[in-house]
Structure 1
């Protein structure tokens, strides 16, 4: 039996919030209802100050939808809008003003996660997701326990690149992530239909990031690699302000139009006092598979020169190679598909640098 969005909406209209006396639909808390392969999923976007007290309401919502004929499982994601009131510290703690915004101390580390590394660039289309997935697999092959979080809420790529499509399960409080190529992974793309656009305001983005960081059963990890979205917005700000970030790896292609935006990304991390581990030049050179000639469609050495100008380490070059693209599109990063290939060597060298430096 097929369940429609309206069926889910009607079921939730019978769930009453005990504080307001109104149902969840009337409160306009329901977002993105969907049904697929026996599982109903929906998001409850609630006021931030109410979020910690709504576990029973969330459970009641899942029970109401789960009771619909044909629904084998119902899963709710709770997210918040608006700033949550900060708990008063036992002693006054100084804060730093960053661009007019207070920079609080990291709220907490993620239990069991030793190190958090962000892969970033203010520019889109430079290959952050390719670098993130291959770096995660390379670190796993180096003997590390690795997690991969796809924080690009609007354009998640990791489900495709890591070859996973199964929906994560949840007990209503904690989400169980998936595993692929030796890496534990989570993405909002696993929770929504592939062709559904995510149209969320900033507070919802921050709420989703918070949930994927703290309400996922990551287990004991040596490192959590976070694939950040383009830009210098809410997701980057939340990550730097709320979590203990070991550092960011900046990805760029060589050409000036990419580097112009990358400079903004570097400035953002510095303004937020987040460490920068170094820069990678992606799509650095193209080797013709027929004649062996080398070409540089996007220029050469631009990222290396920019790293020197900015005073940050240059971590290496990654070629523009068909095998890397095909492996990513096929759901098996090239480091897993062809671990001994020249294409995988650049990513393995990056992982080795992080291990040798003691970052991971």
Structure 2
């Protein structure tokens, strides 16, 4: 080191000043304001810049690294500059373990693989995040975890003081996946192993209070789907299929499994049914013109073409979000509200939360006080069939009970309309 060379302290101050002029072009802030620079070490002309570049895809991280090295190397007294990437340490305060921490849990399922299920799950999460929601994305496709690749996220997965895993955050979306905790080797787990591993992740993952968690399920109705139905309070499921007869037939059987387990089907996404030719600009159908999805008799939330833009994850949650994905997220939210919002007359008899004896006393008193021909509306949090039998017995004194219409609004709410004879 030359006697006239600046001191390590001077070089470090000059390097820091130089780096403060380097700006993140996407966010238009300096690399310090963006929180990328963790520390700077200077000794005998060698500068080591500790930077957190975990949110950048590999190619962008290399570009940022080169920019930082170039800026530091221009400072007098710097002979060599190096960027050392450090993993970001997530905040562990205020986090809650388990899927129940979210206001709602929406599963994305398919009967077959290769229909774009993970792409749709990612698109829904992106759309909800772009609308201002705090969103978690759980990759439960334990044998083929694609979410980390689609979102360009990687481990390590950090843990809190109790050893519980903390999701990796990617530009406003919390992500948890077995793929973040394994190398590139195949995951050859048998049923019991997969069940235990997934159940543990469901129970122990510590989320930062997301409004919605989107679960990407594996295709089919195997052990993982059943484990999820047992372990997670799912508020609705979105099915993804191509408009191909065999795929739709299998989807119909899968729909029944979820409905039998009291999970409302929010709707169906018809994916990759067409594409726009780059050369001629015309739209071409990839399957037959007849659309078998109508036979499912479920709302079609979106019809997505085969398009590479659905696989791109922008720098900001709402940046360059395709309109079709934005509309898909809105359709999912609207359908959720349609199912879970209870709209009844203000005079409705609300039996929710009552024990059996109180329920019967309440319905009897309202029924007795009603005028002949008066319509009564009832809200119940359990199957109202026993109430119907009870009212039939009461009605024998005044005539038959001609009307007792029941609508199950959602797995937790039944709406009843009856008429006093």
Query: What does residue 316 of structure 1 align with?
Result: 302
**Which residue among 245, 254, 265 is the counterpart of 1:265?**
254
Superposition pairs for residues 167-246 of structure 1, below 5 Å? Answer: 167-171=156-160, 173-194=163-184, 196-246=185-235
Gaps of 5+ in 1: 1-107
- 1:264: how far off? 2.2
1:280 equivalenced with 2:280 (yes/no): no
Q: What CA deviation, in whole Å up to 9, does each residue of 1:301-334 have, x standing for no partner?
A: 63xx43x433321112011113334x2xxx5599
Could you say what secondary structure the match of 2:255 adopts?
Answer: helix
Instruction: Compute the displacement of 1:257 (Å).
Output: 2.5
Task: Report the Cα offset of residue 288 of structure 1.
Answer: 1.0
Query: Secondary structure at 2:206's aligned position in 1?
Result: coil
Residue 161 of structure 1 contacts residue 333 of structure 1 at CA under 8 Å; is this kept in 2?
A: no
CA distance in 1, matches of 2:290, 2:319: 28
TM-superposed deviation, 1:141: 0.6
**Alpha-carbon distance between aligned partners in 1 of 2:296 and 2:316, rounded to the nearest angstrom:** 30
Separation in 2, partners of 1:270, 1:358? 15
Name the CA distance, whole Å, in 2 between partners of 1:168 and 1:278.
Answer: 33
Q: CA shift at 1:337, angstroms?
A: 5.5
Deviation at 1:165, TM superposition (A): 1.3
Q: Deviations over 1:214-233 (max 9, x none)?
A: 21111211110000101101
Secondary structure of the structure 2 residue equivalent to 1:281: strand
Q: How does 1:45-194 map to 2 (within 5 A)?
A: 110-171=99-160, 173-194=163-184
Partner residue in 2 for 1:252: 241
1:353 is aligned to 2:331: yes
TM value normalised by structure 2: 0.54
Q: Which has the larger radius of gyration?
A: 2
Distance 1:143 1:206, change over 3 A: same
Aligned with 1:125: secondary structure? coil
**How high is the TM-score relative to the length of structure 1?**
0.63
Deviation at 1:274, TM superposition (A): 1.8
SS of the equivalent of 1:324 reads helix
CA distance in 2 between partners of 1:155 and 1:291 (Å): 36
**Equivalent residues of 1:323, 1:334 under 8 A apart:** no
Query: Aligned partners of 2:183, 2:98: CA distance in 1, in Å?
Result: 31
Equivalent residues of 1:162, 1:332 under 8 A apart: no
Deviation per CA, 1:103-139, whole angstroms, max 9, x where unpaired? xxxxx97342111111001110000000011110110
Secondary structure of the 1:250 match is strand
- Secondary structure at the residue paired with 1:169? coil
CA 1:258–1:133: 2 relative to 1, 3 Å = same
Could you tell me how far apart the structure 2 residues matched to 1:350 and 1:129 are?
Answer: 14
Q: What is the CA-CA distance between 1:206 and the residue it aligns to? A: 1.5
Contact 1:145–1:183 (Cα < 8 Å) also in 2: yes
Q: Out of 320, 329, 334, which is 1:338 matched to?
A: 320
Q: Any idea what the Cα deviations from partners look like across 1:203-249, whole Å, max 9, x if unmatched?
A: 22122221222211112111100001011011111111222111110
C-alpha RMSD of the superposition: 2.4
State the partner residue of 1:19: none
Q: Match of 1:291, SS?
A: coil
- The 1:300/1:175 distance shift into structure 2, 3 A limit, reads farther
What are the ranges of 5 or more consecutive residues in structure 2 without an aligned counterpart? 1-96, 341-421
Q: Name the CA shift for 1:157/1:294 in 2 (closer, same or farther; >3 Å).
A: same
Distance 1:345 1:116 in 2: 23
